[in-house]
Amino acid sequence: MAKENNTQEKVSSKEEAKKKEMILFLSNSEEKEHFLSKQNRKLLSDPLNDDNPITVQVLGICSALAITVQLEPAIVMSIAVMAVMAFSNMIVSMIRNLIPSRIRIIVQLVIVAALVILVDQILKAYAYDVSKQLSVFVGLIITNCIVMGRLEAFALGNGVYKSLLDGIGNAAGYGFILIVVAFFRELLGSGKLFGYEVLGHKGVTVAESSGLYALGYENNGLMLLSPMALIIVGIIIWIQRSRNRKLIEEA
């Protein structure tokens, strides 16, 4: 009799702990872990390297094509994606135990869309110039596969803090590729970096030009077109996989 009571108590205390966990949105295991433990650091660093969202998970290619003609929009876009991903991962992870699984995709979509609209509205009011520069791309964050992909794959099954790190890490991995691609496209396509003419000034004729252009150098107009972004991403994937052979899938 006494034994039975004991087990019942154990069960109820377990349930209580679980309830508490749901209310506080924290899992016990997380509380004990140091907040920058090796495992958590891996959440941040993996997407930059062996688990990169673009080159390994192959997510978010669409926006990598569209906004990598120049460095500046690429950087602003990366920051905006990072903000949206960090918050959406956090919010979804907070309510992950409440979301009915049948409508979870819709719930995620609503949360991401609401966040994007919030970002857009705040930018329009307080950072008007930035918002004008990003124009349609802010809205396009909603359709960025990385956001939904990470919500499905990570935030739904992990704690709040870990999800936050995962969001920031994946956005950083995405931003890193974006910036590398934009660097080469702006440099080779228009001979500029951040709008500055680093390769010299291109005049109408060779005689009027300075720097490399005076030697007869020409910009590669192909770099300005979207297909070149794919080719550069392809080259990055090639370099990454030749350095790290375990990423190569078996044919």
Partner 1 sequence: MDKNSNAYTFIFAIIMVVVVAAILAFTSTSLQEKQNANVRQEKKQNILYTVGVDSVMVDGEKQELTRPLAEANFDKYIKKMVALNKDGAVAEDVDAFKIDLAKELKKPIEEQVFPLYEAEVQGETYYIIPIRGKGLWGAIWGYISLKNDVNTVKGVIFDHKSETPGLGAEITKAWFEERFSDERIFDSSGNLVGVSVVKGYGGGNDKEDNAVNAISGATVTGDGVSDMIEERLSHYLPYFKKQENFKVAVK
List residues near partner 1 by CB under 8 A: 66-67, 69-70, 73, 98-103, 106-107, 110-111, 114, 117-118, 121-122, 124-126, 128, 132-133, 135-136, 185-186, 189-190, 204, 221, 224-225
Query: Minimum Å distance from CB 40 to partner 1?
Result: 29
> Sign (positive/negative) of CA torsion 224, 230, 234, 236?
positive
Query: Minimum Å distance from CB 150 to partner 1?
Result: 20
Name, in order, each residue with C-beta under 8 angstroms of 168's C-beta and a sequence gap of 6 or more: 44, 82, 85, 86
Instruction: Provide φ and ψ at 129, rounded to 5°.
Output: -65, -45
Using alpha carbons only, what angle is made at residue 223 by residues 220 and 224, rounded to the nearest 5 degrees? Answer: 110
Query: Minimum Å distance from CB 118 to partner 1?
Result: 6
| CB crowding 189-226: b at 16 or more within 10 Å, else e | bbbbbeeeeebeebeeeeeebeebbeeeeebeeebeee
CA–CA dist 1, 227 (Å, integer): 74
Q: Could you tell me which residues are beta bridge partners of residue 193?
A: 196
**Tokens coding 239:** 């370099």
Query: Minimum Å distance from CB 58 to partner 1?
Result: 24
Query: Minimum Å distance from CB 223 to partner 1?
Result: 10
Q: Which is nearer to partner 1, 49 or 133 (CB)?
A: 133
Strand stretches in the chain, DSSP E: none
Strand stretches in 130-250, DSSP E: none
What's the distance, CA 199 to chain centroid? 31
Element (H, E) at 238: helix 226-243
Query: Minimum Å distance from CB 38 to partner 1?
Result: 34
Q: Which is nearer to partner 1, 162 or 185 (CB)?
A: 185
Q: Which is nearer to partner 1, 121 or 242 (CB)?
A: 121
Query: Minimum Å distance from CB 217 to partner 1?
Result: 15
Q: Which is nearer to partner 1, 69 or 172 (CB)?
A: 69
Q: Which is nearer to partner 1, 49 or 219 (CB)?
A: 219
Q: Which is nearer to partner 1, 107 or 172 (CB)?
A: 107
Q: Which is nearer to partner 1, 44 or 193 (CB)?
A: 193
